[in-house]
């Protein structure tokens, strides 16, 4: 059973923004980039598991960085897809020897 993040499904993010965030994840050679990618930490994410967390092996969420030039969080360049564990790690401000990444592969 998957638990969904509080803003799922699509509360706050449009389909276009979700797709823009997805395209910022790294494609993995030999895998279908429409299904699987890796976040900036190297953790595997699966497109169909957007918004899923506990119980999800490849769930991901969108981290919105505030632009220093426009003050906007919604521009596509500010949307970062992160595995839900890395998202939680960054959102809670937890830091350790891994920096911003809790997991680098999953």
pTM: 0.74
Task: Confirm whether 7 is domain-assigned.
Answer: no
| Residues spanned by the domain of 86 | 15-91
Task: Confirm whether 5 is domain-assigned.
Answer: no
Q: Rounded to an integer, what distance in angstroms lies between the CA atom of residue 93 and that of residue 58?
A: 21
Q: Rounded to an integer, what distance in angstroms lies between the CA atom of residue 42 and that of residue 34?
A: 17
Task: Confirm whether 29 is domain-assigned.
Answer: yes
Task: Confirm whether 32 is domain-assigned.
Answer: yes
Q: Rounded to an integer, what distance in angstroms lies between the CA atom of residue 46 and that of residue 88?
A: 17
* Tokens coding 49: 């598991």
Phi first, then psi, for residue 79 (nearest 5°) are -95, 120
Q: What total of structural domains would you count in the chain?
A: 1
Q: Rounded to an integer, what distance in angstroms lies between the CA atom of residue 92 and that of residue 57?
A: 20
Task: Confirm whether 10 is domain-assigned.
Answer: no
Paired strand residues for 61: 82
Task: Confirm whether 100 is domain-assigned.
Answer: no
What are the pLDDT digits (tens) for 15-46? 899 999 999 999 999 999 999 999 989 999 99
What are the pLDDT digits (tens) for 53-91? 888 899 999 988 654 455 555 555 678 899 999 888 777
Task: Confirm whether 48 is domain-assigned.
Answer: yes
């Amino acid at each position: 059973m998957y638990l969904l993040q509080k803003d799922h499904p699509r509360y706050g993010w449009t389909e276009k923004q979700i797709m823009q965030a997805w395209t910022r994840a790294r494609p993995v050679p030999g895998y279908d980039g429409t299904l699987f990618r890796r976040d900036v930490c190297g953790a595997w994410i699966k497109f169909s598991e957007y918004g899923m967390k506990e119980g999800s092996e490849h769930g991901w969420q969108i981290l919105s960085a505030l632009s220093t030039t426009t003050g906007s969080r919604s521009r596509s360049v500010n949307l970062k897809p992160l595995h839900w564990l890395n998202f939680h790690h960054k959102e809670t401000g937890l830091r350790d020897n891994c920096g911003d990444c809790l997991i680098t592969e999953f």
